Amino acid sequence: MAAAEPLTPTPQERAQVPDGVLRPSLSPRERDVLRQLARGATYADIAAHLYVSENTVKTHVSSLYAKLAVSRRSDALAVARTLQLL
């Protein structure tokens, strides 16, 4: 498991949010998954923690990536911190 990344945006990340940028609307479950991703959890870990299947986790992750316009976990976490979603 990778080291957990900080959950709060740094001042530099906060400053990078352009004026007028709308934060994507995440479902409560997508927020749960995002928090687990930020902690470095695997899909299997997230599934066990949330009492869902790994396929359900993958579906939530795909939705998160689409809403954040990213294709990797590290990018998703960076964007989420910048948009103050974490």
Full set of structural domains in the chain with CATH: 11-82 (1.10.10.10)
Tens of pLDDT along 11-64? Answer: 555 555 554 456 788 899 999 999 999 999 999 999 999 999 999 999 999 999
DSSP assignments along 67-82, one per residue: HHT-SSHHHHHHHHHH
Pick the residue with more confidence: 12 or 65? 65
pLDDT score, position 20: 47
pTM of the entire structure?
A: 0.71
| Residue 9 pLDDT exceeds 60 | no
